[in-house]
Structure 1
Amino acid sequence: MKRIKVAFFIVSNGLGGAEKVLLEIIKRVDKTKYEPFLIVNNEIKDYYAAHVASENIFSLGNIYPLLNSSLAQRIIIRARPFFDISKLLLLSKVKSTYCFLKSNNIKIIHSHLMYDFLLSCSIREIDKSIRFIYTLHGFLNLKKENELTYVIKHKTFIKKLSNADVITCVSPQIETFMKESYPSLSSKLITITNGISDSLFNHNFRLDLEKSSLKVNMNKFSFLFIGGDKSVKGGILLVKAIKLFENNPALRDINFEVFFAGPYLNDSPLICQIKNDRYLSTKIKLLGYLDPIKMEEIYSKVDFLIMPSLSEGYPLAAVEAVNNGIPVICSNINAFKLMFDERFLIELSSKAILLMMSKLMTDNVYRSDFISSFIDFKVSVWSELIVSYEEIYCKSNQ
């Protein structure tokens, strides 16, 4: 049987939720029916290379040329010239990318992020016969400092999005948001049930309240923060909140620790503050980047995940944590409002974080109510996600 060829587009400077979702799709799609191809930048090519035949990979080269400089990561990456350079490098690859697709007779392309979206749109404008699938991994953030504004203007993005034949949403909340905000795109939207790897995160999530009540007698509470020194993840607010414990006599003796996971620069101001402060260095354990195996080990050690994020798309870290039986302390941004009980979402301030952490460690009733709010949170396995995409690829090939 002739296999359906699908080219997956991914251009990114790191490994987040969208990148993980794509990897699982490539790994798990039925290889007897579908032949995966990959259009990818050099910075993350190795992450996928083991799962795609080498002759099926088209490298876009280094699209993020400034990332190897720590100075660039601290300063230039937040400036418009960085995005302009990367966009120019990427769009210079349109012709060669199209030639690769044409030479391999590929008629279906599947894009996931913002830069590869631009590349996919350019390809589609050249050849209307190519079927274009785009996955929305999160809510559109319209703040001026958001990457969307730097890469492509919002109105232009919505206009180009109409080029897609299918727009998949990783949660029903995102589909609802898109239908209400952009009715003209409604006919293209499909909710794809988001899943968590059933090889690593195969626990049937059901919080054991009796077990949680035993925590009253434990000597130490453990929190997990994932975000490294990225300001958008709220690490600065969390560190300020932890410091407030030291300055409050009523809370100073509460025994807790915070595992600080995610990539960071050793000389970033936030990391230097943690390392050079006697109190913070005893409370915060710097872990750096953790692969999925190590993440599972950490989940077995912590009581809560804390996400004081300033912005999130679809927060995969929260879903993974809940699937492992770990309740999540979240900021009151839209992404979390549509996922969890709003009664327990916190304001974006160090005092609000302090209050939530202290209540969970000292108030047994409040902690029990908080944990109970997660019991009905449902997470599916990857098999549902893959079946849905395979059906879309099959229809797109007809």
Structure 2
Amino acid sequence: MTNPTKIKVLFRLRSLEMGGVPRVVLDLLNNLPKEKFDITLMLNLYQGELRTEIPKHIHLVRIAKGREDFSVNPILHKVQLVLRKLKLKFYEVFPSFLYNQILKEDYDIEVAPGYAEFEWILNSPNKKSRKIGWFHTDVSYDKDQNRVMKRINLMKKFDWMIFGSAQTRQVITDLYGVTYPNSSVIYNVINFQEAMEKSKLMEVNYPIRPVFSTIGRLHFRKGYDALIRVHKRLLDEGFKHSIAVIGGGNEMENLKNQAIETGVEETFNLLDTQKNPYPYVAQSDFFVLPSRSESYPLTVGEVMGLGIPILSTNVGGIPEMIDHEVDGYLVNFDEEEIYEGMKRFMTDQELIENLKKGMKSVPEKFDNSKIYHQISQVFENQYLQK
């Protein structure tokens, strides 16, 4: 029996800069049943490319301004950054002030959508709320054991944990012997319709084809350094093609320098973050994901929904998404295997046609309505346990 009163849910998030977790949160804010949940989103920073996409019916609480709203005067800008940092630190140390002065109400459920928000939720002065955590990370890749163990132990403190893939949860058991009885695996929603609509909003001119597009934060674990080396080898062997990398991050300068040193700066195109990356993918010939580590990347499902043949490393939750040589192509994270896979994409037309046929059933493969129902059930069950 459900309570006729709406369940009050608080999501906490650092910012709305382009990334997997903010996109997952925005999708849930748009699609969780309005008749069941009264949802508040609290942002530490009102910052990022996605901040204009917050649904109108969501209660928005902003702790601090984003860089977009700071002064262009460099000295004043630095002062604003320091003051913002002090403000956030104060509320982190004294969360009761944050809840009493800014939120001013209690919630039935408080949600940490990623590990960055774990301690904020667990330190909530609202002791009666049920705490739910989300985890999307493959811990086997992280070499910082202190950081891994801290996250593993924090997850034990939540009333319920949601893991973004079966592999994400299982690898913790395999490597550390830790299990989470109060948890479930719920895949992230893949919004095929939105990706399709946005893919048609502009034209992209690729002068050198075929084009392998790819999307991701420019981080070492994404494997773009390896992709440059494979790209160079293929070019040297006469396989004309180009790469389009959509994403920003702290590896940008390193990758630019590597591309120049390797002599592929004309064909390895670093396009930085794009608010709408879908036209770049939809108008490419193939998609390549050379990651060393992943969990359950939304991009994989979206690319499959767009009908672009995808070559991906067989890491994290990706084999839970792709059926090898049916609707995608899996290789180990190994430069030789990535090289052979990309070469096959450029030379084996029968394989490409088979993958395109297989991808036609992808929207039925990922049932979004089931996912919203699973999340709603978790929230309702936790509410009943208050």
Q: TM-score range by the shorter chain?
A: 0.7 to 0.9
Cα deviations across residues 1-26 of structure 1 (Å, max 9, x unaligned)? 64321100122584221211101111
Moved more, 260-269 or 282-291: 260-269
Aligned length, in residue pairs: 350
Say if 2:220 and 2:251, in contact at 8 Å, map to a contact too: no
Say if 2:15 and 2:45, in contact at 8 Å, map to a contact too: no
SS at match of 1:6: strand
Q: 1:207 matched to which residue of 2?
A: none
* 2:3 is aligned with 1:3: no
Q: Return the offset for 1:324.
A: 1.8
Q: Return the offset for 1:154.
A: 2.9
Q: Which amino acid aligns with 1:132?
A: K
Given candidates 366, 369, 379, the residue that maps to 1:393 is 379
Cα distance, 1:348–1:43 mapped onto 2, change above 3 Å = farther
Cα deviations across residues 242-295 of structure 1 (Å, max 9, x unaligned)? 122343xxx32x332221211257971322443x47952332333222224x41
Using structure 1 for the length normalisation, give the TM-score. Answer: 0.73
Q: Return the offset for 1:52.
A: 5.8
SS at match of 2:123: helix
Counterpart mapping for 1:54-73 below 5 A: 56-61=59-64
Name the CA distance, whole Å, in 2 between partners of 1:273 and 1:102: 47
Say if 1:170 and 1:193, in contact at 8 Å, map to a contact too: yes
* 2:189 is aligned with 1:195: yes
Specify every segment of 5 or more residues in structure 2 that has no aligned partner in the other structure, as ranges.
68-85, 198-207
Counterpart mapping for 1:270-285 below 5 A: 270-274=255-259, 276=260, 280-285=264-269
Q: 1:135 matched to which residue of 2?
A: 134
Cα distance, 1:105–1:95 mapped onto 2, change above 3 Å = closer
SS at match of 1:282: coil
* 2:328 is aligned with 1:354: no
Q: 2:317 matched to which residue of 1?
A: 335
Counterpart mapping for 1:67-82 below 5 A: none
SS at match of 2:106: coil
Q: Return the offset for 1:48.
A: 4.3
Cα distance, 1:2–1:46 mapped onto 2, change above 3 Å = farther
Moved more, 43-52 or 28-37: 43-52
SS at match of 2:64: coil
Given candidates 211, 223, 227, the residue that maps to 2:212 is 223
What is the RMSD of the two structures over their aligned residues, measured on CA atoms? 3.8
SS at match of 1:388: helix
Moved more, 324-333 or 372-381: 372-381
Q: 1:235 matched to which residue of 2?
A: 224
Name the CA distance, whole Å, in 1 between partners of 2:218 and 2:257: 10
Q: 1:244 matched to which residue of 2?
A: 233
Cα distance, 1:29–1:337 mapped onto 2, change above 3 Å = closer
Say if 2:214 and 2:281, in contact at 8 Å, map to a contact too: no
Q: 1:380 matched to which residue of 2?
A: 366
Q: 1:67 matched to which residue of 2?
A: none
SS at match of 1:190: strand
Name the CA distance, whole Å, in 2 between partners of 1:108 and 1:305: 39
Q: Return the offset for 1:332.
A: 3.6
Given candidates 292, 304, 307, the residue that maps to 1:322 is 304
SS at match of 2:284: coil
Cα distance, 1:316–1:90 mapped onto 2, change above 3 Å = farther
Cα deviations across residues 288-307 of structure 1 (Å, max 9, x unaligned)? 22224x41x22321232111
Say if 1:332 and 1:342, in contact at 8 Å, map to a contact too: no
Q: Which amino acid aligns with 2:268?
A: I
Specify every segment of 5 or more residues in structure 1 that has no aligned partner in the other structure, as ranges.
65-84, 204-218
Cα deviations across residues 171-204 of structure 1 (Å, max 9, x unaligned)? 344455566667774431123243212541469x
Cα deviations across residues 182-227 of structure 1 (Å, max 9, x unaligned)? 7774431123243212541469xxxxxxxxxxxxxxx942211223
Say if 1:167 and 1:188, in contact at 8 Å, map to a contact too: yes
Counterpart mapping for 1:4-23 below 5 A: 4-11=7-14, 14-23=17-26
Cα distance, 1:236–1:93 mapped onto 2, change above 3 Å = farther
Using structure 2 for the length normalisation, give the TM-score. Answer: 0.75
